[in-house]
Amino acid sequence: MKKNWFIIIAGLFMVIGLAACGSSNEDAKSGNEEAGETLVMGTSADYPPFEYIDSAQGEEIIGFDVDIANYIAKELGYNVEIKDMDFSGLITALSSERVDFVLAGMTPTDERKENVDFSDIYYSANHMILSSKDNEMVKPEDLDGAKVGVQLGSIQEDKANELKDSGIDMEIITLNRIPELIQELKSGRYDAIIIEDTVAKGYLESNDDLSGENLPNTEEAGSAVAFPKDSELTKEFNEVIKEMKDNGKMDELIEKWFGQETVK
């Protein structure tokens, strides 16, 4: 008789135990689903409207790329944590896997492709010469004898070197951050800077003293997401980028941040 009671009580405990276990398992699972895996995004938040801090609005990094990252991550069930660094350090951050992907208005060049993988291009751009209205430079030849600023490690730095090699005698100065380049130009310490038209547009709108002209006959540049070599994320991201182009989300974000439709 005593033994029977023992079995019944033990049985009861087991049932309660299992039930508890079951529910705690479920909690853990749904908790995980909500939390998702966190991907670290590397960027250089000096690049309005792609990624920047609008101090009037707060401390947060906002922009076109940030919206794209959040949309893609949400679709794929990841969280995103943003790491801000100099543009010239992003490729190393990827190859040393300190970040899972880079969204920084980065152009997929052959040289970079030796070290990282790229998604499809999500937005295209061209090189632009920015100068002061009272010392306007509109074509490459105008840069002869000029002091020209570019962002360190950017394809605009490559472009400037290419122009110099082709015989335009200019002094090239590299800086890490775009707002610093704009400052140097505005203060007259540089004669011109070369940046992307998509980014120049915003500065032209808020600075009447500046003038901008696209560099002629240059191959079109564009932005893509960068990943460590052979990352499985490349394919996953490409699927969502395609979906965003098809369902109008990309155009909506372009309109939001650049105020224009895609030119296809």
Candidate segments 1-9, 41-49, 135-143, 204-212, binder of ligand ARG by CB under 6 A: 41-49
> What minimum distance in Å lies between the beta carbon of 60 and ligand ARG?
16
The contact pattern for ligand ARG, residues 132-151, with x = CB under 6 A and - = no contact, is: -------------------x
The CA-based angle 67-73-77, given to 5 degrees, is 145
- Separation between Cα atoms, residue 234 and residue 171, nearest integer Å: 38
Q: Which amino acid is at 258?
A: F
Counting contacts by CB under 6 A, is residue 196 touching ligand ARG? yes
Counting contacts by CB under 6 A, is residue 200 touching ligand ARG? no
Choose which of 47, 64, 71, 257 interacts with ligand ARG (CB under 6 A). 47
The contact pattern for ligand ARG, residues 86-105, with x = CB under 6 A and - = no contact, is: -x----------------xx
Number of residues that bind ligand ARG (CB under 6 A): 16
CA dist 93 → 31, 42, 189, 233 (Å): 30, 8, 32, 16
Choose which of 41, 46, 68, 123 interacts with ligand ARG (CB under 6 A). 46
Counting contacts by CB under 6 A, is residue 221 touching ligand ARG? yes
Smaller CB separation from ligand ARG, 137 or 178? 178
Q: What is the DSSP string of 152-201?
A: TTSHHHHHHHHHHHTT---EEEEES-HHHHHHHHHTTSSSEEEEEHHHHH
- Separation between Cα atoms, residue 113 and residue 121, nearest integer Å: 13
In the complex, the residues that contact ligand ARG under the rule CB under 6 A are 44, 46-47, 50-51, 87, 104-107, 151, 154-155, 178, 196, 221
